[in-house]
Structure 1
Amino acid sequence: MKKFAKTVLSTAVLTGAALSLSAPATAGDKLLLKTPVAFGTHLPALGSPIKWVSEQLQVMSDGDIKMKIYEPGKLVSPQEILDAVSSGKVNSGYSTAGYWQGKLPAAALFSAVPFGPEAGEYMAWMYYGNGLNLYQEMYDNGGYNVKVIPCAIISPETSGWFSKPIEKPEDLQGLNMRFFGLGASVMEKLGVGTVQMPGGEIFGALEKGAIDATEFSQPAIDQRLGLHKIVKYNYFPGWHQQATVFELLVNKDTWKEMSESKQAIVENTCKASMTNAIAEGEAMQFPVMEQAKQNGVEIRYWNQTMLDTFKTKWDEVVEEKTAADPFFKKVWDDMSTFRQGYDLWEANAFLPRVQKD
């Protein structure tokens, strides 16, 4: 992957040296990106991509671009990253746009979409459809002084850890569950009380009974959090997050002061990270799943009734959110049009999925 990234970035020519937060970078300066992150860098495919990016930026730039990473909460909290970058408190940050849906309703569409695009289709829409333009437009229209760059992507997550089997929609009613993004709106329609909390708080919340169930990420990541020690029924597929995009936010004043070559190095390193992150994630899931039974975990696939119910409730959520927010509708319509076209390719090019016993 290092060789690939170097090939991608080989045309970049550096002209620069030194950035501080008090004085924006100029074309002749070295650049230091002080980067708080929303996910611990010990979490594979979730937090590890930004660590990889920081290493590659220094190599590709011969040391003219450096990134100092601050683990979650060490400089600013994960929920404050967007505001901190926009205000110039820090000049960059790594997160996922779904965290900002309370401020920007369309933000979750650039993070993970229930029954939405898988990684390849998501990237196609972003890079060769209108996705990236709309992504930046969202922040600009919202008054945020940031440049957004997709910087990692992972494939499907698991869709829940439960202490009991869930066979019908009624089994969800009354549960308190940690849930992320647009999928939380679906669960709420099914009588679930949802809360969003950082990964590091989930185990304790389950242990104390503050929540009854949770979803977080992929099997290899969930294992690091020890979720299997408390809840034993792990459900697939991840209907709520078939792919999840992560973003590097750069303060726009800092970005404008950077030379074109520095901008290209940062953008293309992030694009290389998209490849690296999904490859890392795909490679490490099945060994963890193979250990599930010995850990007392039962892997379950949602029955058709449950999947149909999730989809019906998701359609209701879309109808409500497109009616409530014009920009959400703009992004949703653009993504949907792209996906309708992509369906022709997908239906003919790929082998049909076969569910194995």
Structure 2
Amino acid sequence: MDRRSFLTRASVGGAAAAAGTALAAPAIAQEMPSITWRLASSFPKSLDTIYGGAEELSTRLKEATDGKVTIQVFSAGEIVPGLDAINAATDGTVECAHSVGYYNWGKDPAFACGADLPFTFSARAKAAYNYQGGGIEAYNTFLEKYNLVSFPGGNTGVQMGGWYRKEINTLADLQGLKMRISGLAGRVVEKLGVVPQQIAGGDIYPSLEKGTIDAAEWVGPYDDSKLGFQKVAPYYYYPGFWEGGPTVGFFFNKAKWDELPDSYKSLIRSCAQATDQNMLAKYDMKNPTALKELVGSGAQLRSFSEEVLTAAFTAANEVYGELSTENADFKTQYDAMLAFRDDWYLYQQTAEYTFDTFMMIQQRNGKLAPAG
């Protein structure tokens, strides 16, 4: 074969291969259905971390599917009020929601189990329970009756105990206190004399400013500073024992979910898990600086007393006993959580706790600061 003939044939073969490649991509793309869903968030846009979780899921799915999957994110109040986001996914007003299950605890206490219960898990423990301990599966078994499928979509880590107009030193200081607090935590602190109020994030500041409430908990230093609570309630307490590791969830209308091809379902689960981990990392990065700034601007940092924490722990166990008697779905999930929690804290007393405690002692002794 002469050189000219070889080059001609090679060119033809290369062109054919290139044409085949060019044709293959659209053929594959055509097999992927286009979907456009609406997502109702429970959070205002100003909270870039927690509201941003829904935007992150949307961006990841759009990039991974070359735009075939589009989820339009709507902040609290744009379609439905923030506290109604999950209900909107149930009834099909929207295809999905980004919210916290305990917002629906009044509808069914078992909703709270997928989010957080007072004195149960840290964020790391909750992730282990969700992804390896059967937590996701248990929650979705319950959610079937509400036409929902849910996957974790964020975590804040252990939260702060909120902002108060006065100091809270003893249980007597809680009597008659009107407090914005979410989920089953409201039922717990009610046993301590608190008057709980469930108020959406964007409505907390005006309620606190006007004196409609005496105290409010939200998330932690970064988000709290954005909402400006320090301007109207100077005392900042910790820890938020009612939210040791609250899971923010993506809630999908089950009928719509079932219509998706398996490849999309798998992709959504993967993107949701990435969003779940990333939100916690953002809070862990932003909260230390935000707390220093809050204290620098006059916030009075306080820890709850042992008396308050012990009484709250006792009250929480009373509530769980009552709910386990009243609600079989709650009992099923709570019993599974208890078994996991016991082993978790048994182990945490060894390597993790010892290491963290040693490092905290070094920090207090000024040995972790950069040299120079």
Equivalent-residue separation in structure 2 for 1:84 and 1:183 (angstroms): 24
Which residue does 1:252 correspond to in 2?
254
Q: Which amino acid aligns with 1:169?
A: L
Give the one of 164, 167, 170 matched to 1:165. 167
1:40-71: CA deviation from partner (whole Å, max 9, x where unpaired): 23313321111111111111111111110111
Which residue does 2:208 correspond to in 1?
206
Do the aligned partners of residues 276 and 159 (structure 1) sit closer, same or farther apart at CA in structure 2, a change above 3 Å counting?
same
Give the one of 276, 282, 286 matched to 1:284. 286
Could you tell me which runs of 5 or more consecutive residues in structure 1 were left unpaired when the two chains were aligned. 1-13, 18-26
1:171-201: CA deviation from partner (whole Å, max 9, x where unpaired): 1101111011121112111111111001111
Does residue 88 (structure 1) correspond to residue 92 (structure 2)? The answer is: yes
Equivalent-residue separation in structure 2 for 1:147 and 1:16 (angstroms): 27
Which residue does 1:76 correspond to in 2?
80
Query: Is this contact kept in 2: 1:61–1:265, CA < 8 A?
Result: no
Query: Is this contact kept in 2: 1:16–1:259, CA < 8 A?
Result: no
Q: How does 1:69-148 map to 2 (within 5 A)?
A: 69-140=73-144, 143-148=145-150
* Alpha-carbon shift at residue 28 of structure 1 (Å): 4.4
The root-mean-square deviation of aligned C-alpha atoms, in Å, is: 1.8
Query: Is this contact kept in 2: 1:176–1:213, CA < 8 A?
Result: yes
The structure with the largest helix share of the pair is 2
Equivalent-residue separation in structure 1 for 2:238 and 2:125 (angstroms): 20
* Alpha-carbon shift at residue 116 of structure 1 (Å): 1.4
Do the aligned partners of residues 274 and 210 (structure 1) sit closer, same or farther apart at CA in structure 2, a change above 3 Å counting?
same
1:293-321: CA deviation from partner (whole Å, max 9, x where unpaired): 33221111112122112111112111211
1:132-153: CA deviation from partner (whole Å, max 9, x where unpaired): 111111111xx22222111111
Does residue 295 (structure 1) correspond to residue 292 (structure 2)? The answer is: no
Q: Which amino acid aligns with 2:146?
A: Y
Q: Which runs of 4+ in 1 moved over 6 A?
A: 14-17
Does residue 265 (structure 1) correspond to residue 246 (structure 2)? The answer is: no
Q: Which amino acid aligns with 1:89?
A: T
Count of residues paired in the alignment = 333
Percent identical:
28
More divergent stretch after superposition (266-275 vs 339-348)? 339-348
Equivalent-residue separation in structure 2 for 1:253 and 1:212 (angstroms): 43
Which residue does 1:67 correspond to in 2?
71
Per chain length, whose mean CA-contact separation is higher, i.e. which structure has more relative contact order (CA < 8 Å, sep 6+)?
1
1:4-32: CA deviation from partner (whole Å, max 9, x where unpaired): xxxxxxxxxx9677xxxxxxxxx742011
Query: Is this contact kept in 1: 2:164–2:214, CA < 8 A?
Result: yes
Which residue does 1:183 correspond to in 2?
185
Q: Which amino acid aligns with 2:80?
A: V
Structure having the higher Rg: 2
Query: Is this contact kept in 1: 2:90–2:148, CA < 8 A?
Result: yes
- TM-score under structure 1 normalisation? 0.89
Could you tell me which runs of 5 or more consecutive residues in structure 2 were left unpaired when the two chains were aligned. 1-26, 365-372
Q: Secondary structure, in 3 states, of the residue corresponding to 1:291?
A: helix
